Amino acid sequence: MDINNYLDSTYLKTAEQAGLDFEENKKIVTAFIDEAITNRFKLVMIRPDHVALAKEMIVQARSKLTIGTVIGFPEGTSSLADKLTEAQKAVDDGADDLDFVCNYRAFIDGDLETVKAEILQGTHLGLSHHKIVKWIIETAALTDKQIIQICSMIKNIVLTNFPEEMYQQVFVKSSTGFYRTENNLPNGATIPAIIMMLENASPLSVKAAGGVRTYDEAVEMIKLGVKRIGTSSAKAIASGQESGSHY
């Protein structure tokens, strides 16, 4: 198994979150992109303001590494207009994958029209530019019933509005990795959550993100059926080591 082809090597801390200034944090991002190029990971997942940098480095290295970025991150509560503007800028800068944070709080509150509108329009923007679109549902914030409902809703919107050949370009993704759970409970890719996502999002793909830290855990996720794994520990996973990272 070429596990590297499943790994979205992820660094999503802002300078403030990392306790650094912008240039210091940019150096970390640059090293992360270089690591992803060197190790031939599937994708590097970074904040929107670093997409242009990644594109420049990948072109210079003549690498096949793809670029992913996050939209409406990490809360998902920004307006549809803001999400679409952010997504278009990411596309213009060279992003290949757009990982939208679904407005799961609106979903929990029963405001389904808001959620349906952003899924439809965000997916349309991405697919119309031949990009891969992923919807982060933040499983740790949802009940099992809500996980099933939101996966089914995303699936039904895609199946109703887009041609069959595009289904595999849309993913449901488990977590931002930034959600704070009570009592330090798992905040992302648990086996039960991933199984529910796979069962209720199919034929859409599933990305496991948040908490996959070892090679064995990654292999288990792949055997379940996930197509991508989002992790800040891609190098450790690929080399068979265990990471202390929580994402």
Sequential pLDDT tens for the chain (247 residues):
789 999 999 999 999 999 999 999 999 999 999 999 999 999 999 999 999 999 999 999 999 999 999 999 999 999 999 999 999 999 999 999 999 999 999 999 999 999 999 999 999 999 999 999 999 999 999 999 999 999 999 999 999 999 999 999 999 999 998 888 776 666 789 999 999 999 999 999 999 999 898 999 999 999 999 999 999 999 999 998 766 555 5
| Token reading at 43 | 């994708």
Residue 244 belongs to some domain of the structure: no
Give the active site residue among 131, 134, 155, 173.
Answer: 173
Give the per-residue pLDDT at 38.
96
8, 93, 96, 99: which is the annotated catalytic residue?
A: 99
State how far the Cα of 151 lies from the Cα of 145, in Å rounded to an integer.
10
Q: ∠ CA 44-206-229 to the nearest 5 degrees?
A: 35
- Residue 183 is predicted with a pLDDT of 67
**Residue 136: which CATH number?**
3.20.20.70
Contact predicate 191/211, CB 8 Å: no
Angle 79-171-118 from CA coordinates, rounded to 5°: 20
**How far is it, in rounded angstroms, from Cα 87 to Cα 214?**
31
Tokens of 231: 């992790």
Specify if 246 maps to a domain.
no
- Please state the pTM of the whole predicted model: 0.95
Question: Of the residues 42, 83, 207, 235, which is catalytic?
Answer: 207
Of 111, 171, 178, residue with least CA distance to 141:
178
Whether 83 sits among the annotated catalytic residues: the reply is no
Q: Is residue 75 part of a domain?
A: yes
Per the structure, the count of domains in the chain is 1
25 in a domain, yes or no?
A: yes
93 counts as catalytic: no
Range of the domain at 27: 3-238
- Is 77 inside a domain boundary? yes
- State residue 206 phi and psi, 5-degree precision: -125, 135
173 noted as active-site residue: yes
Q: Is residue 192 part of a domain?
A: yes
Q: Where are the alpha helices (DSSP H) in 40-97?
A: 51-61, 80-93
pLDDT at 243: 61
Is 155 a member of any domain? yes
243 belongs to a structural domain: no
